[in-house]
Structure 1
Amino acid sequence: MEIETHFPSDSDLDFSFTSSTSTFTSSSARTSLSSTPPRNSSSKTHRKNDPHWSAILAAGNLSSSGHLSLSLGHLHLLRHLGTGNLGRVFLCRLKHDENALFALKVVDRDALSAKKLSQVEMEAQVLASLAHPFLPTLYAHLEISHYTCLLIDYCPGGDLHSLLLKQPRHRFPVDSVRFYAAEVLLALEYLHVLGFVYRDLKPENVLRRGDGHVMLSDFDLCFRGEVVPTVRTRARKIVGPTSNCGCFRSGRDGEEVTVTEFVAEPTEAFSKSCVGTHEYLAPEMVNGNGHGNGVDWWAFGVFVYELLYGRTPFKGGSKEGTLRNIVTSGVSYPEDDDVAGYKEARDLTGRLLVKDPRRRLGCARGATDIKRHPFFDGIKWPLMRDYCPPGMRRHVAENRRGRWSWKGYFGKKRYRSWSNGAKWA
């Protein structure tokens, strides 16, 4: 049974604001926002206690098939957050819950070319597939007249690029870079497990949630390839200093341990589309010879470099100069990076920014190989979202049931190091 979709007159969302070329007439009919079954989404480990799903469940109606329906009348538009390549993003909340804030991405399909329409479809497909703490949750997907609306997580912390510009010399400390890079790496790994090549990594697309952890955004440039997951067991010898503090590993130097590794990388993915931000384009993309999963690992190297040094490694005097440098120039580093951790960071970026994708770190075995790099030594990857982010303070409070819950909030004291047990000076 098809449901006629119209814009309800009792909604606070004025879609005439979303396009300068088209308007939309109100009607008394109601439209539903349909999402994946909340009983599945809210039961995932990282969503088990998510108050946003609880608010959605309280506001909407659950059908016998397990799908949730919300009318636009449940949403209250607060303000315009920004405008992207495909549409506009608004901050909104549920009318019955002032604390349930969401981002609503609104796309006017009549104002887009066929190519951009396919990008809208790709983003909706990617969002509907995600269930990861460092990637957005799609709470609702609405198709109404010539508008597509996506209700996703709102990140009050802004993007990493804006935060980077506020740092001394526009550079993050090494420990902060390690933290942000680790969470982005896990997000990219998950996308690749699903077969998606991201192609749009940059600090502007890395948002910060209220608790300081990151969330990737904007998936319209993705494309998909086939993935064959494998599980491998190998012996690994612990080398170098060890520690029982914070996120660092424990164990004896020289001790051999058995490691089980999961590898799922879209190594056969292939595209000839040249898309993305020019400072982050991989050489094979600039040359137009076709590219695959390796472009994400090149971009990851550029991303780490920019967080460390405040600029991208191949930036030239013009767009053409930058592209020329990407293809022909090597990576250079400032001479003032002799602080602890920079040696490993330089080695990591050097292995990622290899022009031949066949020799580039990550292209064969994905994030599995990158996680093993000394720059990330000691990180307990399954516990990543339990670490205290840079600039956040851990506050421990005991709830009524006697369990301990961690609440992060901004503090005024100087943060010493997220990797040293989240201590404060």
Structure 2
Amino acid sequence: MYSGDSDSSSDSGERVRRGETLDFQNLNVVSAVGRGAKGVVFLARVMEKGNGDWLALKVVSKELLRKKNRNKGSCKRVSFERHILRRFDHPLLPRFRGALDTDQLTGFAIDYCHGGNLHLLRKKQPEKTFSEETVRFYAVELVLVLEYLHNFGVVYRDLKPENIMIQESGHIMLVDFDLSKKLYLRSTPSSSCNSSPGSDSSPEKDRRKRRPSRFSCYCHSGISLYDSDIPNQLNAIPTSRSMSDSVEKSNSFVGTEEYVAPEVISGEGHDFAVDWWSLGIVLHELIYGTTPFKGANRKETFHRIITKEPELSGATTPLRDLIKKLLEKDPERRIQVKDIKSHDFFKGVKWDTILEISRPPYIPQNEIKDSTGFSQKDVESFVHRIFFPKSKEEEDKTNKREAKNNEKENYENEENDKKEESNKNVWVDMLNQNSAKDENFLIF
């Protein structure tokens, strides 16, 4: 743990609140809490006067990016995620808390969510399902956050319970935007906004007047996705049924197989409607405990998504009716946001004030215990070992070399080294692909 002077620690905390640069010198990295295809998430805290906020620090190996980046796709997605996080201002989306950059790692921090994710919370329920009232609460918040993203012109493309975190307040936070994409108006390319990292579109010179967000009460700055658009607020992205004709479609094959929409599998091109399909899958999982189309393998799952209708057992209810309309295979006929919000399942919901008055069904307890953190070298070594594991022969050589070095140290230092190495080995063991089912870690 770094023991800097109090003034520098306080300045560091203030920089994090402003979303600026993070520094390992004033950052206490406590443990690893999750891993993904390109990165690892650590629980960290900025050292300042008193106790700094807990952060989720997502770091990506630069070496892995170079290896995967033959077509520039990986770097674009990492840049895009960081780019849009800086511009979000919504209570159900992450706050960008700072960027981190070393010779080996690049990353950023957002607020840490004390309640884990919705997948783990569901599995803790007695029947591994939620009541309709609880489903309604989470569904309302998901509709709000997806509508906000779509008004930004962003299609999320990876909605699943594992990406729906529970904040300390009990409200959700949607995370992990590296599969998200900016969509542009098809018919008036000169009016679309400036090209972003990860975007396929060219920069545009002309702008149309932007309309304010309908969630301006929750989005204090009202800024749009890109720096050059800040004075103009949000894009004029259509939200009516004409959206499919007005907005470009993506042909990328992305998503998580059980939640992916039929039009993604068929390769016909997709737009914002894929998020409403995924919402239907999530609601089905919350009320039934399973996704509706899961097969024995990916091929069978995709076949079921394209050909099979969802089995909605039980009496007809507004929730089951909504799920059925969300899981309409034709994206042109799939229910959209206006009709979703007026659906009987949400009867009585006051959408403009719901985030201010709603009471979450679950409030997590803050059980985090502070401890001595790990150094930059420890974190870089750990991330490297996750994505570039040594062979058994190399590991044996390393262990022998470390054993010889330890013989030269006194007993106290030797015991401390063993303890720290044990902690790091636990991280690696728990985060490798073979241990992905462990519920203490998030696999994103």
Q: Structure 2 length as normaliser, TM-score?
A: 0.63
- Equivalent pairs counted in the alignment come to 305
Alignment equivalent of 2:128, drawn from 167, 170, 195: 170
Alignment equivalent of 2:35, drawn from 83, 86, 96: 83
Mapped to 1, the partners of 2:139 and 2:349 lie a distance apart of 12
Aligned residue in 2 for 1:135: 93
Letter in 1 for 2:78: V
The C-alpha deviation readout for 1:298-357, integer Å capped at 9, x for no partner, is 11111111111111111223221111111011121123xx4xxx6101111111111111
Structure 1 residue 368 and structure 2 residue 338: aligned? yes
Aligned residue in 2 for 1:400: none
> Is the contact between residue 269 and residue 293 of structure 1 (CA under 8 Å) also seen in structure 2?
no
Mapped to 1, the partners of 2:20 and 2:81 lie a distance apart of 21
Alignment equivalent of 1:222, drawn from 172, 180, 190: 180
Point out the structure with the larger strand share: 1
Aligned residue in 2 for 1:381: 351
Mapped to 2, the partners of 1:331 and 1:284 lie a distance apart of 16
Aligned residue in 1 for 2:273: 294
For residues 266-305 of structure 1, the aligned pairs below 5 Å read 267=244, 268-305=247-284
> Is the contact between residue 170 and residue 310 of structure 1 (CA under 8 Å) also seen in structure 2?
yes
For residues 10-49 of structure 1, the aligned pairs below 5 Å read none
Letter in 2 for 1:319: R
Q: CA deviation at 1:146?
A: 3.9
The C-alpha deviation readout for 1:12-62, integer Å capped at 9, x for no partner, is 9xxxxxxxxxxxxxxxxxxx9xxxxxxxxxxxxxxxxxxxxxx97673469
Mapped to 1, the partners of 2:169 and 2:145 lie a distance apart of 17
Alignment equivalent of 1:310, drawn from 273, 289, 311: 289
> Is the contact between residue 263 and residue 368 of structure 1 (CA under 8 Å) also seen in structure 2?
no
Q: Which runs of 5+ in 1 are unaligned?
A: 1-9, 13-31, 33-54, 232-261, 393-407, 411-425
Structure 1 residue 157 and structure 2 residue 115: aligned? yes
Structure 1 residue 325 and structure 2 residue 299: aligned? no
Aligned residue in 2 for 1:251: none
Q: Which runs of 5+ in 2 are unaligned?
A: 186-207, 213-235, 367-444
Letter in 1 for 2:341: K
Letter in 2 for 1:209: Q
Point out the structure with the larger helix share: 2
Structure 1 residue 59 and structure 2 residue 13: aligned? yes
Aligned residue in 2 for 1:92: 44
Letter in 2 for 1:388: R
> Is the contact between residue 153 and residue 184 of structure 2 (CA under 8 Å) also seen in structure 1?
yes
Aligned residue in 1 for 2:399: none
- Give secondary structure in 2 for the equivalent of 1:299: helix
Mapped to 2, the partners of 1:409 and 1:90 lie a distance apart of 19
Aligned residue in 1 for 2:76: 118
Identity %: 39
- Give secondary structure in 1 for the equivalent of 2:340: helix
The C-alpha deviation readout for 1:164-216, integer Å capped at 9, x for no partner, is 11113221000000001111111111111111110000000000011111000
Mapped to 1, the partners of 2:237 and 2:126 lie a distance apart of 38
Letter in 2 for 1:193: N
- Give secondary structure in 2 for the equivalent of 1:349: helix
* CA 57–180 in structure 1, closer or farther in 2 if over 3 Å, else same: farther
The C-alpha deviation readout for 1:218-269, integer Å capped at 9, x for no partner, is 10001111269779xxxxxxxxxxxxxxxxxxxxxxxxxxxxxx97546413
Q: CA deviation at 1:391?
A: 3.0
Which of structures 1 and 2 has the larger relative contact order (alpha carbons within 8 angstroms, sep 6+)? 2
* CA 146–99 in structure 1, closer or farther in 2 if over 3 Å, else same: closer
The C-alpha deviation readout for 1:130-149, integer Å capped at 9, x for no partner, is 11100100011233324212
> Is the contact between residue 131 and residue 137 of structure 1 (CA under 8 Å) also seen in structure 2?
yes
Structure 1 residue ranges (4+ consecutive) displaced by more than 6 angstroms after TM superposition: 55-58, 228-231
The two structures, once aligned, show a CA RMSD in angstroms of 2.9
Mapped to 2, the partners of 1:285 and 1:325 lie a distance apart of 14
> Is the contact between residue 110 and residue 146 of structure 1 (CA under 8 Å) also seen in structure 2?
yes
The C-alpha deviation readout for 1:55-87, integer Å capped at 9, x for no partner, is 97673469xxx9855543221111111111220
* CA 56–300 in structure 1, closer or farther in 2 if over 3 Å, else same: farther
